[in-house]
Amino acid sequence: MSLTRGFIMFNEVQSSYNQALLLITKPSLQATALLQHLKQSLTITGKLHNIQRSLEDFPGDCLVLLDMMEADKKTIQYWQDVLSRKNDNLKLLLMNTPEEYPYRDIENWPHLNGVFYVSEDESRMVEGLRGIQRGECYFSQKLASYLITHSGNYRYNNSESALLTHREKEILNKLRIGASNIEIARSLFISENTVKTHLYNLFKKIAVKNRTQAVSWANDNLRR
């Protein structure tokens, strides 16, 4: 293991200890079991809050997992209003989201960092949440493309809710000046395989098929 890689892993582990998980759903034995599973899998503290009860006091660095299966229109409006007033380092994840839930409605959620659909199991949720802890987002390719195209919250790299990670933006900017994978790897002190992995994830997020399309997207959506 290289010193660089070790440092990156250390930072990722440390960040998870500083976060808390808030599961907002209808209290039940199943919900309690899910919370315990997520806490153990993510090495994170957490608590359950009744989705039908008001809440104003959120932990400062918090992953908020909201159960859309238990949310009617009135409940959705309440939680959107509450979250929109929060300037803390909150990251909202919607779980049990109906497949037919319109993208234009998803776009209205503040601090949104991920959407888990009702068809996704707990293992996929854990995988997605681990990515969120590393500063990534969790959206389907179609939803990511919609958010990039339609939502101002996801267009610019100085947004708190930016769709792309800092590393992905770095790589995009390297592509804009014509850098090869090897040149990107050397300049960022990472392996060429790591660059390829970032490019693969990046292309999926912004719904492009090649470097030329990625550069075109970056010129339209990212500030240097």
- The whole-model pTM stands at 0.63
Got the DSSP string for 24-54? EE---HHHHHHHHHHHHHHT-EEEEEETTS-
Same domain, 19 and 75: yes
Same domain, 192 and 85: no
- Within 13 Å of residue 209, how many CA atoms lie on the same side as its CB? 0
What residues make up the domain containing 190? Answer: 163-221
Starting at the edge strand that comes first in sequence, how are the strands of the sheet with 61-67 ordered? 45-50, 20-25, 61-67, 89-97, 112-117
At 158 the pLDDT is 36
Same domain, 134 and 83: yes
Q: Specify if 146 maps to a domain.
A: no
Which CATH number belongs to the domain containing residue 174 in this structure?
1.10.10.10
User: Would you write out the chain's pLDDT as a tens digit for each of its 224 residues?
Assistant: 333 333 333 333 334 446 899 999 999 999 999 999 999 999 999 999 999 999 988 877 889 999 999 999 999 999 988 888 776 678 899 999 999 999 989 988 888 889 999 999 999 999 999 988 887 888 887 888 777 666 544 444 333 335 777 788 888 888 888 888 998 988 888 888 888 888 888 888 888 888 888 888 887 777 65
